[in-house]
Structure 1
Amino acid sequence: MVHFQHIEYLLALALVPLMILLYVFVLRSKKNTIKKIGDPALVNQLIKDYSPAKFLIKFVLIVTAFVAGIIALANPRMPKGTTIVNRSGIDVMIALDVSKSMLADDIKPSRLERAKQFIERLIDKLPDDRIGIVVFAGRAYLQMPLTTDHSAAKMYLSSATPDVVPTQGTVIGDALKMCYAAFNTKEKKYKSVVLVSDGEDHDKTAEKVTKAMAEEGVMINTVGIGSPEGTTIIDPATGVTKTDAEGRPVITKLNEKELQSIAANGNGLYELFTNTDDVVNGIDTQLKKMGQHSITENSLVNFKNFFPWLLGLALILLVAEFFVSEVKKLAVVKKIIIKKETAALMAMLILPSLLFAQNSNTLIQNGNYAYNKKEYDVAVDNYKKAAVKEPANETAQYNLGNALYKKGDAEEALKAYDEAIKFSKSKSDQSGSWYNKGVSLQNNKKLPESIDAYKNALRLNPTDEDARFNLQKALLQQQKQQQQKDQQDKDKKKPKDDQQKDQQPQDKNKDQQPKPQPSKMTKKEAEEKLKALLQQEKNLQNKLRKVDAASPDKPEKDW
């Protein structure tokens, strides 16, 4: 569907009625002038070579050229079509466990890193399939909906850490529900889930959910990451071994039985992670056994712009107007020669601008091609050239920011996003630039600036769930940093305060040291008192456990 990139320029079309009124005024002025000259017969003889019809044609040509020029400035464009991709593919949702137990290093460098490596290789094996990602710990979140953009899937995968889920634990059942919600519920086949976890499920709904999904035609495959003997977990927040409520080191073990049961009930395959390529080949072979279907995908990466054609039309109309004379045949020879020269001059002035605009679009398309091939240096070079030729081209600035970000040049990427925001005319384009700027700032630990960027993106597009999710994540990170800073400040001040408190009674009350009062309580009374206090504490602990058990939002375990 055609839409205008700069719709505000269409306001200039309001000048067309004024031009028509001016034309009518000129006609009346000519008639009044003829009447004032004198004898009508003599006047008609003097103006016999004048052609009112040609005068009207000249006016129509000028007005039409003006309208075409204004519409060209507004830049009508349309997405390069809806493409029906005749691919034999399926829909695959990948559920990745990002709980703290996945940080265990019984599989080097860690379970989570190995899981990411496996998923990335699996994505490469599924070029014709749509991929979606769900991350889960104490809760499940849709990290990326189903898409054929596998490069975006890998980008989301790289950012999956325990920090993206504020509630710790492991709820496989919730993750499977989230995967099912991402599928097209009208289809009862061509759908599969690949669950990657250590199987330490802290709720017992997974089996029930698996059977329900299998009845709806969803195949569930599982990959076990970890070792049956288990190992300890290093808490990333403290850098020490994680302990349970009783102070004992937490030992996290691979729960193969749980994952095997899920795969069996989900008509899928269970694979124990040993070698990345072997596991990938096993899951890939299992997925190829499923039926496959054609995938319809909308591609909105590039737009087809119509402004060069409209500018060309305006030029042709103006040239035509120069060749149309207000006088009749014999008197126009000399005038045509003059206007031919003028038309040639106009063509020399306008054609370079058309070639200039077309050249900018060509550079952007070359940059897009290089970007998709991950040749980011080449893409940056093309986008920069397009931005130099046309600094106000928001597409060139936006794509330049993305390529610089991929290249690792965060500071230059931020400058490009600022330029894109500056020249963006629509709220959706501005929101996208603010969001990408926020991601770049957040990855460079500039949390206050990234929070402001996400807020600006949400002000322009309140429905942007990615911006809302990243904003929450950035706020949590900022809160965590502030708590650490406060603790550090407190630790710095504490020794001084304790030293002053220790020195004060020694300096001021050297001869007045307090003496302990002798206890008047018998040994038996003291033992009974101690037993009563221990019983009271035990009752309190039991009460707290009951409250925790009754809370549906608080996980039983936080790893």
Structure 2
Amino acid sequence: MVRFQHIEYLLALALVPLMVLVFLYVLRSKKNTIKKIGDPALVNQLIKDYSPSKFLLKFLLIVVAFVAGVIALANPRMPQGSTMVNRSGIDVMIALDVSKSMLADDIKPNRLERAKQFIAKLIDKLPNDRIGIVVFAGRAYLQMPLTTDHSAAKMYLSSATPDVVPTQGTVIGDALKMCYNAFNTKEKKYKSVVLISDGEDHDKAAEKITKAMADEGVMINTVGIGSPEGTTIIDPATGETKMDAEGRPVITKLNEQELKSIAGNGNGLYQLFTNTDEIVDAMDKQLQSMGQRSVTENSLVNFRNFFPWLLGLSLALLLTEFFISEVKKIAKVKKVIVKKEVAVLTVLFILPSLLFAQNSNTLIKNGNDAYNKKEYDVAADNYKKAADKEPNNEKAQYNLGNAFYKKGNADDALQAYDAAIKSSKSKSDQSASWYNKGVSLQNNKKLPECIDAYKNALKLNPADEDARFNLQKALLQQQKEQQQKEQQDKEKKKPKDDKQKNKQQQEKEQQQPKPQPSKMTKKEAEEKLKALLQQEKNLQNKLRRVDVASPDKPEKDW
């Protein structure tokens, strides 16, 4: 199906009625002029070589050439190459627990890292299946919708940490509900959920949701990761063992019973994580037992553009109009020769540009073929050649940025995305370039720049949920880094404050008046001491008398 890349240019076709009105006005003006000249017979004799039909033909050629040029600017195009892709597979939603209990190291290096390793290998085992990812802790989030782009799935998987979910806990029920909403609800088969968790918190809603999903044809498989004996958790913020409210170490244990119950109610398989390859093979075998459906999908990576042909048609019509004379007999041969020379020069100047554009499209097509084969070096080379030929070719710059990103050349990718943004004429294309630039910046820990990129993408396309979600993640990460920086600054400042307080205390002590030496004589001091001893002796005698007269003391009451 043919579609226009820049449909807004078609508004210029509104000028065609205006051109018709101008033509009719010119015809009327000519008739009025002939009437004003004089004798009609004499005037007809003077203009006998003029051909009204050729004048009309020249006008029609100009109008058709204009229409063809406007349509060429709108760039009608049609998907080509691997437009329709046939595959046989199922839809698999992966629900990954990213709560802090998954940081326990009873499975080295920790539960979360081994879970990611399992998911990555499982994705490699499902080349024809659509994969989606949901991460959950105290809340559930759709990390990636169902897609056949497995490289993107692995990219999103690598960024799954406890930081992406600010609320802690283990809401398995919400995660399962989010997975179900990602499926095509019209189908009753070929849908499965793979839940990876330690199942520590008992979620009462999970059992009910599992049964409802099983009735809708969804198979739910679970993987328990952790040990029943449990272990302590290292708090990533402090690097120390996490304590509860009473100051005791928190022990996290694998809740196998809940995960087994979910798998049983979901007509699926429960596995205890032991060896990565073994559970991947077992899970793959379980998913293959569901059967597979044949699906035909669109893969609109490449387009066939028709604007060169339309521009060629427009040029041909203008040249034809140029050679047609309004007179019936051509008296001046020299003038016609001059016109032919001008036409030939025009063709010589314009034709290379058409071939130039066609060559760039060929390079982009070759780059797309290499990109689909994951030959990113070859793809980048073709895209770069196309971009060098046409620096304002938005498609070449955009694809070049993607190829550099896949190669890991972040700086080159950012330059290509910037070039694509400058050359983009539509808001949707600019938004896509800003979004990809944001992803590249976020992966390179450039949070302020990536936040600006996501904001620009959302300004151009407010409906881009991926940009909105990544912006939220980047803002949370920036807030966390800011808090850590403030804490570090506070700790660095604290010793200085203590030192300042000690100095002030010393100065205060120095300012206090020192006691004056005693001016009392030795004899006076002896008399003073005797008087004090006599007072103490009288006090002791008085206490003895009171003790004798008092009754027995009561006993202790604790």
Tell me the TM-score normalised to structure 2 length: 0.84
Q: 1:187, 1:302 → 2: CA distance? A: 30
Any idea what the Cα deviations from partners look like across 1:381-436, whole Å, max 9, x if unmatched?
22222222222222222222222222222223222222222222222222222222
Residue pair 2:93, 2:133 contacting (<8 A) in 1 also: yes
The one of the two structures with greater contact order (alpha-carbon pairs below 8 A, sep at least 6) is: 1
Q: 1:319, 1:423 → 2: CA distance? A: 31
* CA RMSD, 1 decimal: 2.9
* C-alpha spacing 1:121/1:49, structure 2 compared with 1 (3 Å): same
Residue pair 1:80, 1:302 contacting (<8 A) in 2 also: yes
Q: Which amino acid aligns with 1:403?
A: A
Offset of 1:246 from its aligned partner?
Answer: 2.7
Secondary structure of 2:263's aligned partner:
helix
Greater mean deviation of Cα atoms: 426-435 or 247-256? 247-256
Any idea what the Cα deviations from partners look like across 1:267-319, whole Å, max 9, x if unmatched?
11122333333222211111111143233434333333221121121122123
Counterparts of residues 47-86 of structure 1 (less than 5 Å):
47-79=47-79, 85-86=85-86
Offset of 1:264 from its aligned partner?
Answer: 1.7
Q: Which amino acid aligns with 1:216?
A: E
Structure 2 equivalent of residue 365 of structure 1: 365
Q: 2:426, 2:81 → 1: CA distance? A: 21
Q: Tell whether 2:71 aligns with 1:109.
A: no
Greater mean deviation of Cα atoms: 249-258 or 52-61? 249-258
Structure 2 equivalent of residue 537 of structure 1: none
Offset of 1:379 from its aligned partner?
Answer: 2.2
Counterparts of residues 145-224 of structure 1 (less than 5 Å):
145-224=145-224
Q: 1:331, 1:232 → 2: CA distance? A: 104
Any idea what the Cα deviations from partners look like across 1:254-277, whole Å, max 9, x if unmatched?
333332222122111122333333
Q: Which amino acid aligns with 2:292?
A: Q
Offset of 1:93 from its aligned partner?
Answer: 0.8
Any idea what the Cα deviations from partners look like across 1:151-187, whole Å, max 9, x if unmatched?
2222222222222111122222211111111112222
Structure 1 equivalent of residue 544 of structure 2: none
Q: 1:475, 1:126 → 2: CA distance? A: 34
Taking every aligned residue pair, what percent have the same amino acid on both sides? 83
Structure 2 equivalent of residue 353 of structure 1: 353
Greater mean deviation of Cα atoms: 440-449 or 20-29? 20-29
Secondary structure of 2:196's aligned partner:
strand
Offset of 1:84 from its aligned partner?
Answer: 6.0
Greater mean deviation of Cα atoms: 139-148 or 388-397? 388-397
Structure 1 equivalent of residue 433 of structure 2: 433
Any idea what the Cα deviations from partners look like across 1:44-69, whole Å, max 9, x if unmatched?
44543432212211121122112211
Q: 2:175, 2:378 → 1: CA distance? A: 40
Any idea what the Cα deviations from partners look like across 1:426-448, whole Å, max 9, x if unmatched?
22222222222222222222222
Aligned residues: 516
Structure 2 equivalent of residue 478 of structure 1: 478
Q: Which has the larger radius of gyration?
A: 2
Any idea what the Cα deviations from partners look like across 1:433-473, whole Å, max 9, x if unmatched?
22222222222222222222222222222222222222221
Structure 1 equivalent of residue 119 of structure 2: 119
Offset of 1:368 from its aligned partner?
Answer: 2.1
Q: 1:465, 1:106 → 2: CA distance? A: 37
Offset of 1:220 from its aligned partner?
Answer: 0.9
* C-alpha spacing 1:470/1:44, structure 2 compared with 1 (3 Å): same
Greater mean deviation of Cα atoms: 103-112 or 354-363? 103-112
Structure 1 equivalent of residue 264 of structure 2: 264
Counterparts of residues 1-12 of structure 1 (less than 5 Å):
2-12=2-12
Any idea what the Cα deviations from partners look like across 1:28-81, whole Å, max 9, x if unmatched?
555456556665445544543432212211121122112211221222335559
Counterparts of residues 175-324 of structure 1 (less than 5 Å):
175-324=175-324
Q: Which amino acid aligns with 2:223?
A: V
Residue pair 1:85, 1:294 contacting (<8 A) in 2 also: no
Tell me the TM-score normalised to structure 1 length: 0.84
Offset of 1:491 from its aligned partner?
Answer: 1.6
Any idea what the Cα deviations from partners look like across 1:481-529, whole Å, max 9, x if unmatched?
221122122222222222222232332235579xxxxxxxxxxxxx99x
Residue pair 2:78, 2:305 contacting (<8 A) in 1 also: yes
Any idea what the Cα deviations from partners look like across 1:89-145, whole Å, max 9, x if unmatched?
211111111222222333333322222222222222222222111111111111111
